[in-house]
Structure 1
Amino acid sequence: MDRITDTEKKSPESSYYISFTAEEFEGYERRMNNCRSPGSRSLDSSDNTNSGAKLCFEPQNSVREDLNEAKDGAQLSLPAKRQSRYIRAVRHTLWNVYRRLFSIVFLANVAALIALLCTTKELIHINLWHLATATSTNIWVGTTIRQDCMQIILYKTAWLVPHSAPLRLRRIVAKLYENGGVHSGCGVAGAMWFTALTVLLTIQFTRLIFTSVAILVLTYVLQTLFMVLLVLAYPSLRSKYHNAFEVTHRFLGWTITILFWVELGLLASTDSLATKTPVGTILVEQPAFWFLILITIHTILPWLNLHRWEFSPENLSKHAVRLHFKQTVSPYTGIAISKSPLFEWHPFATMPSLSGEPTGGSLIVSSAGDWTKQTVESPKTSYWVKGYPKPGVLGMSLIFRQVVVVTTGSGIGPCLSILASKHRRTECRVLWSSPSPLGIFGEEIVGCVKRVDADARIIDTKKEGRPDMVMLAYRMYVEAEAEAVFVISNPSLTKKIVYAMECRGVPAFGPVWDS
């Protein structure tokens, strides 16, 4: 999704107050003690605060029980963070859901490799095909889970979870967008298995058990390509050299697939000479052969749906452009567009037509890098679109009754994919901070936000300064009786708000580096 690079900091405007009468405060305390089970929404109207906010406190949710004494003029402050500093760091930062998925996948493969080594009497005689199968299996899973069709299936399955399901369950399901941990875990595990194959083949070659020089050389070429692929995919390098990563990841991936086909063919030919069995018979009996077919299909499939779409640019300001298209896309989805389809792709969330048209939609591009800056300054009337529109992080908001959507700058574009949808079944409150939102994004977009949430907090940072977004998000979460907070902003602010909410027990979600 397109994000701006503003950083947020506190300002005096970030203080907010809620006033209570003595009778209202007594009712407030009674609700804290007697609030029904999670998901209960009804409250006696006489217990409402004079601000009009209904506060329903779930017994297991300590964040809503940690409001400081809300007496006359008392400040609504953030509750204390739960658990110790070190536990918070491990749970919400060092070992987040993405890394947990990576660890599960990778450690399961390590355990399988150890089991194979321990159950084999003579390691030198391990069947090379077993290692090739393990390699291809991991690569297949890693590529499959990133395919548009698979992502659509995963999200649509998650949307089947009803609002009546326990909040704890929905909170876990909503982390689906961090499934990139499975992709990277399988990629590293596949390289590990291929390394084992390389080591074993080298030992067999030195002992004259295996004598094919062509296979040995090809194996080392593949091993080198695997290592280069993994190094360039390392998060810090990927972020710093994103364009180089994208090109190498694509072309090295294709090269590895082609060379792996050659490797399997050579292995089958060698076995054929030794056993007098036809090459075709040997291949069809190996799982690695069938997994490689699936990998090849998944590699080709997205390119079969490569089309050039026509766009009508609308210059919102010198910092943003809105690209309109006539194609109809599914609700809550995004597309990737490109000027040069073989080299770089840029994903953006789509929003439906705000004028009420049954077809068509648009996306917003804001100046945040070389490519987006050039697009804003000189938008084209056509771009390449590949694959199928697929959901993103905000799609998981649909499994909650009411959410708070927090965004900055052009992050409102991805948010409108949910907010402006006619199919939305979730109530949304909006907190949007941006320099000159009306001047940059126009009346139509600001008006759409207001139609969705008449009490939306739209902050013009040029007039009001940069607010304390954490405090504002928490205040809106409490006032709205929301079940979750979704954040679409630059990476640093997204991490800050999500961490601040989660360590206080508030379900919070925002894009991760590989979501």
Structure 2
Amino acid sequence: MSQEIRGHPQALIDAEKGTLDPLPGSLSHSKDVKPPPSDVLLSSKEKDALVTTTTQEVILSAKPTASSVPKSKRVVSRWTLWNLWFNTYRKFFTFTFGLNMIGLVLAASGHFPYGVKYSGTIVVANFNFAILMRNEVFGRFLYLFVNTCFAKWPPLWFRLGCTSVLQHLGGIHSGCALSGVIWLLFKVVNNFRKLNVTHDAVLVMGVITNLTVMISALSAFPWVRNTHHNVFERHHRFVGWLGLICTWVFVILGDTYDPVTRSWNLSGVDLIHHQDFWFTMGMTIFIALPWFFVREVPIDIELPSPKVAIIRFKRGMQQGLLGRISRSSIMEYHAFGIVSEGRHAKYHYMIAGVQGDFTRGLVQNPPKTIWTRELKFAGVSNTSTLYKRGIRICTGTGIGAALSTCLQSPDWYLIWIGSEQEKTFGPTISRLIHDNIEPERLTLWDSKARGGRPDTMKLLKEAYHYWDAEVVFITSNYIGNSEIMQGCKEAGIPCFGTLWDF
């Protein structure tokens, strides 16, 4: 029904994905400070008492040995794979979709009269709730409430649950959206079964509305989103808007036509007493609200290498936020993680890896202004305030989604795996890291200088125990994310990674 009705937060996926493949470009300043040996564990108090006078790079393990590079693929148990697959997202989807289908079966079999009489209300109620789960304003209030009320003091399992629920709200979104499409089909079929008492206009609009919402929903399937992003954006948004208009017409026609007298009741007073009218109104507000925050803003673009564009905006931001940007006010919007030293900083940044037409255009023809939504949306990193200590591990351009958490909180440890990071990402990112992150909570792995990628789980486990961390947040590509999530699950390390295949 809008840009926000989708199978999962594609924007979040784009913003938080990285790469384990070597990139051209390293922060190689290791000299004065050495961390504790990897086999020596310090308590939190000892770490807090550790004083250093430099902001240069710290590596947990010295020059790589053969054992630091993985030799064979890790064997993962089926139970681990099942638990990772059937995560909170799919649990939410199963619950919402399953509950709706039970109601649909009962209605179709004559055991749920409300579902037959008010099927239109159930349709727009599902769409209303689906859109709410993707509304930036609602999301920011939800994250604010959780971060304010449950920071650090509740049991760890509860805080992990809060993060999991917030990250996987897309399961409710997709479950309700798909259920709404099926309930709408049920309503249209019922209308055709009552041809003798249903006006032709209601029948025609029912079919048109069903087609538009089906196209909008199908365009959000993972294969379309991941391989044809622009097709997904255009159809999901513009056909979704058309579907919203058709829904209004369908609701008004259905509520004003009296099948008993076969006449039209054009009284507005009667119309506003229908439930589906108010659900459609709410749906419209939730769709329109984010677009009130769209602005064209001035930017500066730094091009440290042909592979990356560093986009600079005015004003600082809190950590854990992501922003959408576009060349035009309503066309394709692309999401990137926001890098900022804090709310009172002069600038915030987005790191755009050159991977498609949009980012390639930023490098080949850098614009002076760009369209963005001033209201940013929260990502999983925004819940970092819930934890006493944590690890933020990322690869390649994933640093854009990960860096702010470690810049703004002394309780978070950064692991960044890439190739020649300083050459690729430039002096701005290098300065932000070395000016704000102490050596004892920083590991930079240059895969080119070290002769390959590390044994990521070995590196992560050492950092996790050394830092007394409670949780690990991961930003990587599909393969890297899967490997780290599987390794953490089997090691009993709580973790959250980039959402894929939803």
Q: TM-score range by the shorter chain?
A: 0.7 to 0.9
* Equivalent residue number for residue 437 of structure 2: 452
Q: What TM-score comes out, normalization by structure 1 length?
A: 0.79
Identity across the alignment (%): 25
Give SS of 1:201's match.
helix
The 1:167/1:397 distance shift into structure 2, 3 A limit, reads same
* Equivalent residue number for residue 437 of structure 1: 421
Residues in 2 aligned to 1:388 and 1:44: alpha-carbon distance in whole angstroms: 37
Give SS of 1:334's match.
strand
Residues in 2 aligned to 1:97 and 1:85: alpha-carbon distance in whole angstroms: 20
Matched, 1:138 2:130: no
Residues in 1 aligned to 2:457 and 2:355: alpha-carbon distance in whole angstroms: 23
Residues in 1 aligned to 2:47 and 2:128: alpha-carbon distance in whole angstroms: 55
Q: Is the Cα contact below 8 Å between 1:7 and 1:493 reproduced in 2?
A: no
* Equivalent residue number for residue 191 of structure 2: 201
Deviation at 1:129, TM superposition (A): 5.3
Matches within 5 A, 1:206-285: 208=196, 210-271=197-258, 273-274=261-262, 278-285=266-273
Deviation at 1:448, TM superposition (A): 3.3
Q: Is the Cα contact below 8 Å between 2:391 and 2:412 reproduced in 1?
A: yes
Q: What TM-score comes out, normalization by structure 2 length?
A: 0.81
Question: Quick one: which amino acid aligns to residue 99 of structure 1?
Answer: R
* From 356, 365, 369, the counterpart of 1:378: 365
Which structure has more RCO (C-alpha within 8 Å, separation ≥ 6)? 2
* From 149, 158, 168, the counterpart of 2:157: 168
Give SS of 2:491's match.
coil
Deviation at 1:478, TM superposition (A): 1.6
Deviation at 1:77, TM superposition (A): 13
Give SS of 1:388's match.
coil
Give SS of 2:257's match.
helix
Matches within 5 A, 1:102-121: 102-118=93-109, 120=111
Question: Quick one: which amino acid aligns to residue 196 of structure 1?
Answer: F
Deviation at 1:408, TM superposition (A): 1.1
Unmatched segments (≥5 aa) in structure 1:
9-15, 21-27, 32-39, 46-74
> Alpha-carbon deviations, 1:391-438, whole Å to 9, x = none?
2121122211111111111221222222222xx3x6111111111112
Deviation at 1:277, TM superposition (A): 5.0
Deviation at 1:323, TM superposition (A): 1.5
The 1:277/1:315 distance shift into structure 2, 3 A limit, reads closer
Matches within 5 A, 1:24-423: 85-93=77-85, 95-118=86-109, 120=111, 130-159=118-147, 160-175=149-164, 176-205=166-195, 208=196, 210-271=197-258, 273-274=261-262, 278-353=266-341, 358-386=345-373, 388-421=375-408
Deviation at 1:184, TM superposition (A): 0.6
Q: Is the Cα contact below 8 Å between 1:365 and 1:376 reproduced in 2?
A: no
Matches within 5 A, 1:13-32: none
* Equivalent residue number for residue 49 of structure 1: none
* Equivalent residue number for residue 70 of structure 1: none
Q: Is the Cα contact below 8 Å between 1:180 and 1:514 reproduced in 2?
A: no
Q: Is the Cα contact below 8 Å between 1:268 and 1:279 reproduced in 2?
A: no
Residues in 2 aligned to 1:84 and 1:491: alpha-carbon distance in whole angstroms: 16
Q: Is the Cα contact below 8 Å between 2:316 and 2:344 reproduced in 1?
A: no
The 1:353/1:324 distance shift into structure 2, 3 A limit, reads farther
Q: Is the Cα contact below 8 Å between 1:330 and 1:389 reproduced in 2?
A: no
Residues in 2 aligned to 1:420 and 1:127: alpha-carbon distance in whole angstroms: 52
Q: Is the Cα contact below 8 Å between 2:17 and 2:498 reproduced in 1?
A: no
Residues in 2 aligned to 1:434 and 1:43: alpha-carbon distance in whole angstroms: 30
The 1:231/1:133 distance shift into structure 2, 3 A limit, reads same
Matches within 5 A, 1:475-494: 475-494=462-481
The 1:463/1:42 distance shift into structure 2, 3 A limit, reads closer
Question: Quick one: which amino acid aligns to residue 348 of structure 2?
Answer: G
Deviation at 1:181, TM superposition (A): 0.9
Residues in 2 aligned to 1:405 and 1:471: alpha-carbon distance in whole angstroms: 15
Deviation at 1:226, TM superposition (A): 2.5
Deviation at 1:509, TM superposition (A): 0.8
Q: Is the Cα contact below 8 Å between 1:429 and 1:453 reproduced in 2?
A: no
Residues in 2 aligned to 1:76 and 1:362: alpha-carbon distance in whole angstroms: 33
Question: Quick one: which amino acid aligns to residue 85 of structure 1?
Answer: S
Q: Is the Cα contact below 8 Å between 1:324 and 1:363 reproduced in 2?
A: yes
Residues in 2 aligned to 1:462 and 1:4: alpha-carbon distance in whole angstroms: 17
* Equivalent residue number for residue 461 of structure 1: 447
Residues in 2 aligned to 1:383 and 1:132: alpha-carbon distance in whole angstroms: 40
The 1:500/1:360 distance shift into structure 2, 3 A limit, reads same
Residues in 2 aligned to 1:142 and 1:127: alpha-carbon distance in whole angstroms: 19
Residues in 1 aligned to 2:285 and 2:374: alpha-carbon distance in whole angstroms: 13
- Aligned-residue Cα RMSD (Å) equals 3.1
Give SS of 2:429's match.
helix
Residues in 2 aligned to 1:44 and 1:214: alpha-carbon distance in whole angstroms: 72
Q: Is the Cα contact below 8 Å between 2:416 and 2:443 reproduced in 1?
A: yes
Question: Quick one: which amino acid aligns to residue 169 of structure 1?
Answer: F
Residues in 2 aligned to 1:502 and 1:116: alpha-carbon distance in whole angstroms: 42
Unmatched segments (≥5 aa) in structure 2:
1-14, 23-35, 49-66
The 1:19/1:396 distance shift into structure 2, 3 A limit, reads closer
Residues in 2 aligned to 1:386 and 1:369: alpha-carbon distance in whole angstroms: 21
Residues in 2 aligned to 1:4 and 1:162: alpha-carbon distance in whole angstroms: 28
The 1:98/1:219 distance shift into structure 2, 3 A limit, reads same
Residues in 2 aligned to 1:255 and 1:288: alpha-carbon distance in whole angstroms: 18
Residues in 2 aligned to 1:19 and 1:251: alpha-carbon distance in whole angstroms: 57
Matched, 1:506 2:493: yes
Deviation at 1:445, TM superposition (A): 2.4
Moved over 6 A (4+): 42-45, 75-78
Q: Is the Cα contact below 8 Å between 2:402 and 2:475 reproduced in 1?
A: yes
Residues in 1 aligned to 2:477 and 2:363: alpha-carbon distance in whole angstroms: 18
Give SS of 1:173's match.
helix
